[in-house]
């Protein structure tokens, strides 16, 4: 094998793997505060009933000593009515609530401590008194009816938009699962039009664009006309995930929401980095390479998963290497090996990167360490041995010594 073929023997354009993760949108949170009207004094122990209205579901909670209430496990795809009651206070309700996590402020007037039911709410919305009320003037009745009609129209529009968003979002998930990325993109785009404030929609839209881009890249191995559509998809994926990141950012500093928001941002950054990396590695958009590396590094810093951290660091180094930035790749792989000396992937790629910058002795030594460290079943070992031989013979190098016996754990003897 000639030296000029060493790297290309291992870094040919193999078929890419589709991303299989999805952005969670199954549960949401409803939270707020209950205070006395006028004074703003927190009400402790107020009963807050969260009633799902599209299908049956009830989620009761109580306010704490600060007057706050929280339910962090309500189904995301739902609309809710909140009924609030407390001793010596008038009952209160809110309709058309979505589990976005936004704080809801409830101010209770003085009253008899009565509790409303959903039937009471329906009667009030229909204009039928839920209990004894003062006699209203004709002007007050007219204004009340106008306010009711306006509120009713708003609720009906919200409900229609929500049902449309829910239907489109679920269609997108099903189509994406069936690898119909054209259909999934159409469905997610429609869902985003109806509710552009839901980060999960943008996250899944970004994934669908990314996967369609991967499909086009794979097909471009036989049909070069697929390269431009792939480039557009990766750019569209980045645009969509940028919106998801921006929507998620508001939760990053919240003590209650921060841990989940941090994990979510790491996932979003990985999606963006994957798209940027392929723009650089496969489509020659070289300014995307450092962006991908930066995103992988930030994703690694945010995740609590050791496996994910290792994966992101390897992807950053690989982006440098496969984008032709061999010197940067050498530095990146050396940094990984400083903390994990027996990282097989880093040893393998560092050996190739050394060859790319004409450091042939270092290449041979590192590839030998790969052979010593990798499982004997690794399919790359035979080819790597041939590469080492070519390096040594072709460049009059010192043959690297093997210390496999010291590195590999001895095989366990059968009892």
Does 113 reside within a domain? yes
- Domain membership flag for residue 203: yes
Does 54 fall in a domain?
Answer: yes
Cα–Cα distances (Å) from 51 to 82, 84, 341, in that order, read 6, 11, 56
For residue 121, is it within any domain?
A: yes
- For the stretch 288-338, pLDDT in tens is 999 999 999 999 999 999 999 999 999 999 999 999 999 999 999 999 999
pLDDT of residue 259: 87
Residue 9 falls within a domain, yes or no?
no
Which CATH number goes with the domain that contains 71?
A: 2.60.40.1120
Same domain, 95 and 166: no
The answer, yes or no, to whether residue 363 has pLDDT greater than 90, is yes
Here the CATH number for the domain that contains residue 353 is: 1.25.40.10
223 and 166 share a domain? yes
193 and 277 both lie in a single domain: yes
For the record, the structure tokens of 306 come out as 């050791």
What is the β-pairing status of strands 80-85 and 47-52? antiparallel
Of residues 8 and 137, the one with the higher pLDDT is: 137
Task: Choose one of 126, 141, 172: the last residue of a domain.
Answer: 126
Res 5: pLDDT:
45
State yes or no: pLDDT of 146 exceeds 80.
Answer: no
Quote the pLDDT of residue 412.
Answer: 43
In a domain, 17, yes or no: no
3-class DSSP assignment, residue 209: helix
- Alpha carbon of 316 to those of 274, 329, 367, 369: distances in Å? 10, 9, 20, 22
Q: What is the pLDDT of residues 90-119, one digit of tens each?
A: 999 988 888 877 789 999 999 999 898 998
Cβ-based neighbours of 23, under 8 Å, separated by 6 or more: 199, 200, 203, 204, 207, 244, 264, 267
Whether 195 maps to a domain, the answer reads yes
Q: How confident is the model at residue 203 (pLDDT cuts 50, 70, 90)?
A: very high
One domain for residues 329 and 300: no
Same domain assignment for residues 171 and 301 = yes
* Domain that residue 45 falls in: 27-126
**Are residues 166 and 292 located together in one domain of the fold?**
yes
Quick one: average pLDDT of 387-411? Answer: 75
CA neighbor of 121 nearest in space, from 100, 142, 151: 151
How many domains, the chain? 3
Question: 3-class DSSP state for residue 104?
Answer: strand
> Does the residue 132 lie in any domain?
no
**Whether residue 33 sits in one domain with residue 111:** yes
277 with 184, same domain?
A: yes
The whole-angstrom separation of Cα 94 and Cα 355 is: 67
Specify whether 349 is located in the same domain as 290: no
């Amino acid at each position: 094998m000639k030296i000029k073929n060493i790297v290309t023997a291992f870094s040919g354009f193999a078929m890419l793997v589709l991303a299989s993760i999805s952005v969670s949108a199954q549960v949401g949170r409803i939270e707020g505060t209950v205070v006395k009207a006028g004074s703003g004094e927190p009400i402790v122990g107020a009963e807050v009933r969260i009633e799902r209205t599209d299908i049956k579901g009830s989620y009761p909670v109580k306010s704490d000593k600060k007057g706050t209430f929280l339910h962090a496990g309500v189904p995301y795809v739902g609309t809710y009515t909140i009924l609030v009651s407390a001793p010596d206070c008038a009952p209160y309700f809110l309709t058309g609530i979505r589990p976005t996590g936004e704080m809801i402020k409830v101010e209770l007037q003085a009253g008899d401590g009565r509790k409303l039911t959903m039937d009471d709410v329906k009667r009030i919305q229909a204009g039928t008194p839920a209990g004894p009320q003062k006699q209203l003037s004709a002007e007050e009745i007219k204004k009340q009816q106008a306010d009711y009609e306006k509120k009713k129209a708003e609720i009906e529009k919200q409900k229609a938009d929500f049902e449309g968003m829910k239907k489109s979002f679920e269609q997108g998930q099903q189509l994406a699962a069936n690898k119909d990325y054209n259909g999934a993109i159409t469905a997610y785009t429609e869902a985003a039009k109806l509710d552009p404030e839901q980060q999960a929609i943008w996250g899944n839209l970004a994934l669908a664009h990314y996967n369609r881009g991967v499909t086009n890249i794979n097909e471009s191995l036989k049909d070069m006309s697929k390269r431009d559509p792939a480039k557009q998809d990766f750019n569209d994926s980045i645009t969509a995930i940028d919106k998801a990141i921006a929507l998620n950012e508001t939760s990053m500093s919240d003590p209650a929401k921060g841990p989940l928001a941090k994990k979510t941002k790491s996932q979003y950054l990985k999606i963006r980095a994957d798209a940027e990396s392929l723009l650089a590695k496969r489509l020659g958009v070289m300014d995307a390479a450092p962006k991908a590396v930066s995103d992988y590094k930030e994703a690694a810093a945010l995740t609590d998963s050791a496996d994910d951290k290792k994966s992101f660091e390897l992807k950053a180094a690989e982006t440098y290497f496969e984008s032709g930035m061999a010197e940067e790749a050498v530095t990146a792989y050396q940094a990984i090996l400083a903390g994990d000396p027996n990282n097989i992937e880093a040893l393998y790629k560092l050996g190739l990167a050394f060859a790319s910058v004409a450091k042939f002795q270092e290449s041979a030594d590192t590839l030998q360490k790969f052979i010593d460290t990798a499982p004997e079943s690794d399919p790359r070992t035979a080819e790597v041995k041939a590469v080492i031989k070519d390096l040594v013979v072709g460049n009059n190098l010192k043959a690297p010594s093997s210390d496999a016996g010291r590195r590999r754990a001895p095989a366990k003897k059968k009892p």
